[in-house]
Structure 1
Amino acid sequence: MPFATSDDCEIYYETQGSAKQAFVFVPGYMGIADIWAPLVVPLSTQYHCITYDNRGYGRSSKPTSPTDFSLTKVASDITSLLNSLRIHDPVLLVTHSFGSLIASEFFHQHPDRVKGIVYTGAVIAGMFDDPEATVHALTYNGHLPSAAAQFYINLGLSRDIALEAAKWSCAARMSFARSMVNASLGGRWSDIVVPTLVVQGEEDNITPSEVAQKLHALLPQSRLELLKGVKHFPSTESPERLGRLIEEFGDSLFK
C-alpha cells in the first residue's frame, strides 16, 4: 500500500489516472479518502487524481499529541504527498469542509505548487462564535461508533462511508476538531490569488450559504456555485453535478 512520510506520520494515499495534470482531494474533519470515490473514477480519465486519509484517520498514522494536528503540520502532509509522488507542477486542490483551511494553508506554504482551489462545504477561520462548543458538538458521544456514524449520516454522508469514518480514534477527532476550529488565516484569504471555485449545498447544516458568500467575497478570483437539495457532502450527495463543475474548472486551468 502506498504511504508518504510526513513529520514521522505515514499518510496513506491512492492514485487513479496517469495524466500529467493532477487533482489532489483534501478531506476535512472526517478525514478519509472514501468521500471522493464517486468523483475520482470519471475525473481520472483526464486527470491524475490523488486522494488520501488525513493523519489520525483511516489508514494513516494515529499521532496522540494534540500538537500533531496543528494546521501547519496537517497542511505539510500535502507537501510530503506531492514530493513522494514526484509531482512538481502546480496542482488543483479539491477540498471539503475543514479541508478548505488545510489547502489554503498549503497555498501559503507553497503558492507555486497550486494551480487553483475548489472549496466545497468550506469552513473559514472565525466562523465559530464559541469554538469549544463547536468542538463539543463535533465530538459528542464520539466514543460510540453508532453515534459517530449517525452524526455523519445526519450531515448528508452515505451510510457505508459514515460507518467507515466512525471507526477512527475519538481522541484524534477531538484534537483535529479543536485545531481546525481554532485555526486562523488572519487576513490571508485575499492573498490566495489563484482561480478558485466555491461550491455550496443550499441545505448545508454545518456551513450555511452565508459562509460560502463570505468566502467568495474574500477570494480575488472566485466563482460561486450553489447546489440545490444538497447538504454538507456534495461529493457523495451530488457527485455528477459536482464532478461536472470540477472538470469544467480544471479544464479552464489546464487546457
Structure 2
Amino acid sequence: MELQIKEQNGFQYVAEGTGEVLLLLHGLFGALSNWQDVVAEFSTDYRVVIPLLPIYEMPLSQAGVPGLVSYVEDFLRQVQLTEPLTVLGNSLGGHIALVYALRNPNMVTRIVLTGSSGLFEDSMGGSFPKRGNYAFVQERVGYTFYDPSIATKELVDEVFSVTNSNTKCLRIISIARSAQRHNLGKDLTKVSAPTLLVWGLNDTITPPVVAHEFHRLLPQSELRFLDHCGHVPMMEHPREFNRLLRQFLRRTAPEPALT
C-alpha cells in the first residue's frame, strides 16, 4: 500500500480510512513508511492519521520533545481532529505520545507504545552520527533490528543523507538530548488511559527492562513481548504487531452511547 501524503495549512500527513482516529507518531530516524502495514490493516475500520514530524526542519530553538508535542497539538487543531483518539508511538514517537497524553488527558482514549523513549534509550548505540562514515551508519541502522537485513540500502542511504547535513544533524542531536533530559519516570503514574506496550525481546535501544519499567509505572498498562524482534516491531513483525493491536482495540473499545 503506497501512502499518499496530504498537505493542509503547512502540515504534511497521511490520512486513510474513516471512523475512530488512530494517530501514529514515528521516531527520530523514522518515517511515514514505518507504519505502512498498520495503515494497510486498520484503515478499513479506523481513520489512520500520521503527521510527518518536522524533525529536520523545525527551528533549532524548538527542536526537542516539548516542541514536537506542540507541533502535534497544532496539527490536530489545523486538520480539525477534535474528538478523543488513540495515539500510537514508536521510539521518540512514543515519548511524544506520552507527553501529549499528560498535557491533553481528555483527548486520549488509549495509548500504544513500542520501543518508546521517555525512560531510557540508546538511540545510536552510544554515539551520535558520524558524518561521511557509511559503514558506521549502516551498522547503526542495522542495530535497530533483530534481523539486520531489514535495514535495506534504501533505508541506510536515507539515514546517511541525513547525517551528512550539518543542519539536520544539529536538530537530531538537540532532539536526542531533549529526550534524555525529559525523563517521564515521575509523571507516568498520572497517565490514566489504557496502554498497550509491544516490545521486541531483542531491542538494544530501549531494552526489555525499559518495557518492564513502563509497565510498572503506567497504571493501566499491559505488556507484550515479541521474540526475534528489535526496536521497531511494527516493521519487523507486522502481522503479530497488528494482531496484538487489534485485540487491544477491541478489548478497550468505548461503550456505545445510550440513545
TM-score, normalized by the shorter chain, greater than 0.5: yes
Bigger shift: 222-231 or 165-174? 165-174
Q: What's the CA shift for 1:161? A: 3.5
CA distance in 1, matches of 2:181, 2:8: 27
Q: Secondary structure at the match of 1:139?
A: coil
Q: 2:100 aligns with which of 92, 106, 109?
A: 106
Structure 1 unaligned regions, length at least 5: none
Cα deviation, residue 76, structure 1: 1.5
Distance 1:240 1:166 in 2: 29
- State the AA in 2 paired with 1:100: G
3-state secondary structure, aligned to 1:254: coil
2:73 partner amino acid: T
> Aligned AA for 2:205?
I
Corresponding position of 1:158: 151
CA distance in 2, matches of 1:103, 1:55: 16
Query: For residue 126 of structure 2, what is the aligned residue in structure 1?
Result: 137
CA distance in 1, matches of 2:129, 2:151: 20
Q: How big is each residue's C-alpha offset from its partner over 1:95-118, in whole Å with a ceiling of 9 and x where there is no partner?
A: 111222111111111111101111
Q: Structure 1 residues 150, 209: CA separation in 2 closer, same or farther (over 3 Å shift)?
A: same
User: TM-score, structure 2 length as denominator?
Assistant: 0.84
The whole-number CA distance in structure 2 between the counterparts of 1:193 and 1:95 is 17
8 A contact 2:125–2:140 mirrored in 1 = no
Determine the C-alpha separation between the residues in 2 that align with 1:142 and 1:200: 30
Q: CA deviation at 1:216?
A: 0.2
Distance change (3 Å), C-alpha of 1:143 and 1:180: farther
Equivalence for 2:212 = 213
Q: Is the 8 A contact 1:198 1:225 kept in 2?
A: yes
**1:63 corresponds to:** 58
Which whole-Å CA distance do the structure 2 matches of 1:216 and 1:150 have between them?
30
CA gap of 1:144–1:192, structure 2 versus 1, over 3 A, is same
Residue in 2 that maps onto 1:238: 237
Cα RMSD, aligned residues only: 2.3
Q: Which of residues 112, 120, 144 in structure 1 aligns to 2:114?
A: 120
Q: Supply the distance in 2 between the matched residues of 1:165 and 1:43 (Cα, whole angstroms).
A: 28
> Which piece of structure 1 moves more, 231-240 or 175-184?
175-184
CA contact (8 A) 2:17 2:44 kept: yes
Matched, 1:97 2:107: no
Change (3 A) 1:12 1:253: same
Does the CA-based 8 Å contact 1:24-1:93 persist in structure 2? yes
CA separation of 1:14 and 1:167: change in aligned 2, threshold 3 A: farther
Is the radius of gyration larger for structure 1 or structure 2?
2
CA separation of 1:225/1:174 partners in 2, compared to 1, >3 Å: closer, same or farther? Answer: same
Structure 2 equivalent of residue 86 of structure 1:
80
**Under a length normalisation based on structure 1, what TM-score does the superposition of the two structures give?**
0.85
Distance, in Å, in 2 between the alignment partners of 1:161 and 1:39 is 19
